[in-house]
Chains A and B, each alone.
Chain A
Amino acid sequence: MLTLQSVSKRYRPGRPVLVDVDFATAPGMVQAVTGGNGSGKSTLLRVLAGVSRPTSGTRTGDPGVIGYVPDRFPTNTRLSAEAYLAHMGRIKGLSTARSAERATELLTRLDLVGGPKTPIRELSKGNAQKVALAQALLMPPRLLILDEPWSGLDASAHGVLAQIIVDTARAGGAVVFTDHREAVTGGLATEVYRIEAGRLSRQALPARVHDTASEVLLRATRPQATDLRGLAGMRSLEATGDLVRVRVDRDRCDALLLTALQGGWTVDGVRHNDAAVPPNLLGGVAAGANGLGGVSGVSGGVGGVGSGNGVGSVGGPANPIGGQR
C-alpha cells in the first residue's frame, strides 16, 4: 500500500502543480483520476511512481513491483520492441530468457502491428504505446500506474487493456490510471477522483453496471473460432449448433465482444439488463430485426459494437430497449 499525505509539488516559483493531496492505493482497487490538461494528473502519477519527489508532504509505503506507463512513449528509441523489452525485463530482475518469453507473450496479446523486431521509432503511436504497456507488465505489477493509457490505442487494444486492468486488480494489485473522459473511468474504476488546479477530490462513483449481466449471442464464422470458456466475468455459456449464448458480467461485456470478434465469432445479438441508453442515442436508432432470438432489445454503449447483426448495431430495432430494462 502506498500513501500520499498532504503532498504538494511545485516545479519552480509559481503556481503549484499539486496542492495538499491525500491519496492511498490499496490492493484490488482500480482508482481513476480525471481532470483537464495541465491539472496535475501526470505529476500525481509521477509522485506515486516515486519518480518525482514531493515539494512538501510525504509518500510512504512500499507497493512492491511498480508498472508505469507514461502518456507518451519516447520516439527516438532505435532499439527494436523485442530488444527494448528484453532490456527492461532484465532491469526489473528477470532472466534474459524469461524477459524474451514475457515480451513475446505480451506483444502477441496486445497485437503489436509491425513486428517485435521493428525499431520502436518506426512504430506508430498506438503500437509504441503497446510497447510501453508491455514493459510495465513484464513482471506482474503490484501497483500499475497508467497515464492516459487509451491514448493512441486501437479498439481491439482497448478491450485488452481493460482486461489487463481488471486482471491486475483481481490478482491483488492496485491500479491507478488517468483519463480526461469520465465515461471511460466510470466503467472500470472502483474509486474515481477529480483533480483541478492540483487539488484532488473524491468523486461519487458513476452509476455502475457491474452487478448486472449481459447476454450475447455469437455465431462462429470459422471452424477454429476461439474457445470462449473461462473468460473473466462469464456466468454461463450455452452452445446450440454454431450458436453460442453467453451470459457475462455487464462490465466484462465489451471485453468479451472484442475477444469474440477477434477470435472468429460474429455477434448476432446483445442485451444489457441495465439498459442505460442515453436518451439522445435513442432517436438515431432506426427500425430493424431483433437478432437475439427470444431476447429482445439492446442498450448502453451502442456505438461500441458496430459489427453485430441486428440488435448490437446502430440501425437496430425501433425500440432498442425492448422492454428489457
Chain B
Amino acid sequence: MKALYRYTLSTVLHSQRYVAPMVFFLALLAILTSSDSGPLLGVYAAAAVSVLACATWLTAAVVNIEEPVGRTIVVVNAGNSRGPLAAAVAVSATFCVGMVVIGLSYPVVSGSHTVSARSVLLGAAAQLTCAAVGIGLGMLCSRLVIGRPGASVLVGLALVLGVILAKPLPPVYPMLHAMTGGHPSAGIGFVGYAAAGLLFLAAAGAATQYIAVRLD
C-alpha cells in the first residue's frame, strides 16, 4: 500500500493535475470568507463547501491521472485493483488535509472573528466530513465509472450541488444548516455527520470498485 501511495503521489505531483483544483479552492475560499466578521462557524461552513467541491474535482483528477493501459499495468503489479483505488483515495485525502488546514486558518487571518477551540473543532469536523463526501463523489464521477469526460464533469457538478442542497440527504446539508444558525450547539451531531461522511466514502469506494471491475 505504501508503494502504491508513493507511486500515485509521485504521478500526481509530476502531472500537476492538482494545481487547478487547488487554485480553484483558494479562489473560492477567498471569495466566500474574506473580510467576514460573522460567527466563525458560519464562515467555516462556507469553507466546507469549498472543500467539498474541490475534493470532488481533485479526486476525479487523481483517479483519472493514469491512462487505462497504465492502470492495467499497476493493477497487475499490485495483484488487485482495490490497492490502486485505495492509493488514489489516500493521495486525495492528503491534499484534502492541506485544504482543511487552509480552510481553518485563512478565515481567522482574513476576517474578524472570535476564535474558540469549539468552533475550530466543529469547523475541522465539518470540513473533513465534506472532504470525505467529496472524495466519494470524485470516485463516482471518475473514468472508472463514467467513460466520457464531458458527462463526468456534468455528473460531478450535479452531485456536488445535490449533496449541498438536498435537505433530506445527510450529512452535508444538515451539517451546514446547523453551522449557519440551525443548531450550533449540537456537537454530538457532528460525530454523526462525520460518521455518515465516512460511511458515504466507503460506499462510494465500494460502488466504484464494483463498477470498474465490471467495465474492465
Contact of A178 with B by CB under 8 A: no
Are A72 and B69 closer than 8 Å at their CB atoms? Answer: yes
Are A91 and B7 closer than 8 Å at their CB atoms? Answer: yes
Give chain B residues whose Cβ lies under 8 Å from the Cβ of A50: 75-76
In terms of DSSP, what is the predominant structure of the interface of chain B?
A: helix
Are A78 and B15 closer than 8 Å at their CB atoms? Answer: yes
Contact of B168 with A by CB under 8 A: no
Q: Which of A68, A74, A77, A90 is the one whose CB lies under 8 Å from B76?
A: A68
Name the interface size band of chain A. Answer: 20 to 34
Give chain A residues whose Cβ lies under 8 Å from the Cβ of B14: 78-79
Name the interface size band of chain B. Answer: 20 to 34
Contact of A98 with B by CB under 8 A: no
Give chain A residues whose Cβ lies under 8 Å from the Cβ of B75: 50-51
Contact of B10 with A by CB under 8 A: yes
Give chain A residues whose Cβ lies under 8 Å from the Cβ of B216: 46, 51-53
Residues 11-67 (chain B) with a chain A CB within 8 angstroms: 11, 14-15, 66-67
Are A68 and B72 closer than 8 Å at their CB atoms? Answer: yes
Give chain B residues whose Cβ lies under 8 Å from the Cβ of A31: none
Give chain B residues whose Cβ lies under 8 Å from the Cβ of A76: 15, 67
The 10 closest A-B pairs by CB, nearest first: A74-B70, A90-B3, A87-B7, A78-B14, A68-B76, A74-B67, A91-B3, A91-B77, A70-B69, A52-B216
- List 22 A-B residue pairs with CB atoms under 8 Å apart, sorted by A's residue number: A49-B76, A50-B75, A51-B72, A51-B75, A51-B216, A53-B216, A68-B72, A68-B76, A70-B69, A70-B72, A70-B73, A73-B69, A74-B69, A74-B70, A77-B70, A78-B11, A78-B14, A79-B10, A79-B14, A87-B7, A88-B73, A90-B3
Question: B residues bordering A, Cβ < 8 Å?
Answer: 3-4, 6-7, 10-11, 14-15, 66-67, 69-70, 72-78, 81, 213-216
